[in-house]
Amino acid sequence: MKFDTKENEAVFKKVKNQLPELIETQCKGYDEIYGYKIIPGNDENLTKFYNEDIVNAIIFKFCKGYKFQYSIVVEKIKNVLNWRREFNPLSAAYQEVHDPELVEVGLLTHYPNEESNKKIITWNIYGKLVKKKHLFKEANKFLRYRIGLMERSLRLIDFTDNDNNYMAQVHDYKGTSVWKMDSDMKRCVKDIISIFQDYYPELLSAKYFVYVPTFLGWVYDVIKKFVDESTRKKFVVLNDGKKLGKYISNCPSIPYGGKDTKSLQEQNIAEIRPSEYAQYLLEKQIIEDVD
């Protein structure tokens, strides 16, 4: 963590000190973010799940994302904790079974030799969904699938590596021909964008939109209005998807122009284990549900 000023460092410390009270009084005791326990707590059986280096990195991201404005940062952390308590993204990531048509279009890769912050990539092959409008009818199902994928991608991030704790994302729109964005899809896209903005700050290094047909440039203009400026600056639109290899050199040569002869499906990391604390919370929920 690098603080630009002493004031920022002081805000960070103040936020961290505030967490136990915040969690107890305003979050019904819920103390997990991205699978990690964010306060040590008093229960001896649970303090083993607390890793201060990881927690520092996560809290730092909230501070940085909200420009070290103490009250806003605290409010945002409160919101993310309450959202996670209710939405249960860990269940979406590790327990729920999603529609195979969705699972097929979401992939995760790890390129250890890529430049920092571009080693972990989430791939959304959304072009394959162009004719599958039924998948957007139940917005919640899509949302749970997409958040589940996001949570699993976070497991690949080493939060303790100060110089490499961001990821990149790719949207592949190959095959998107004549196409209209209907209201179901629009709502779904808007919901996901707003959840990413509010609850996953400072995690994205770059987002590539590839194989975007030139005649669908208007979609970009419509959607980018929902996105805040700092995120928008990370977007790169490539009509020619083979140019992606210039940005992510280890991606598959076909169809992205990288140097790896393996296909994206072969590169995909299908099995991702939850953190120990996430595993504990999920098991606890199962026991409570049975009781």
Q: Which residues bind ligand HEM (CB under 6 A)?
A: 124, 126-127, 129-130, 146, 169, 171, 173, 176, 179, 188-189, 192-193, 196, 207, 209, 212, 216, 219-220, 223-224, 227, 231, 235, 237
Which strand (E) or helix (H) includes residue 204?
strand 204-210
| Residue 155 CA: distances (Å) to CA of 72, 151, 166, 257 | 26, 7, 12, 27
What is the spatial distance between Cα 209 and Cα 169, in angstroms, rounded to a whole number?
9
**Listed residue (156, 172, 174) closest to 251, CA to CA:** 172
Under DSSP, the state recorded for 224 is G
Q: Which two three-digit tokens encode residue 114?
A: 């890529």
Which CB sits closer to ligand HEM, 196 or 199?
196
CB contact at 8 A, 65 and 11: no
> To the nearest whole angstrom, how small is the minimum distance from the Cβ of residue 18 to ligand HEM?
30
> To the nearest whole angstrom, how small is the minimum distance from the Cβ of residue 214 to ligand HEM?
10
- Residue 74 has a CB neighbour count (10 Å cut-off) of 19
> To the nearest whole angstrom, how small is the minimum distance from the Cβ of residue 153 to ligand HEM?
11
Which CB sits closer to ligand HEM, 106 or 281?
106
> To the nearest whole angstrom, how small is the minimum distance from the Cβ of residue 99 to ligand HEM?
14
CB contact at 8 A, 38 and 32: yes
> To the nearest whole angstrom, how small is the minimum distance from the Cβ of residue 284 to ligand HEM?
30
- The separation between CA 179 and the C-alpha centre of its own chain, rounded to angstroms, equals 27
- The separation between CA 280 and the C-alpha centre of its own chain, rounded to angstroms, equals 21
Residue bearing tokens 């040569």: 253
Which CB sits closer to ligand HEM, 37 or 118?
118
Which CB sits closer to ligand HEM, 192 or 282?
192
CB contact at 8 A, 117 and 205: yes
Which CB sits closer to ligand HEM, 37 or 171?
171
> To the nearest whole angstrom, how small is the minimum distance from the Cβ of residue 204 to ligand HEM?
7
Which CB sits closer to ligand HEM, 91 or 124?
124
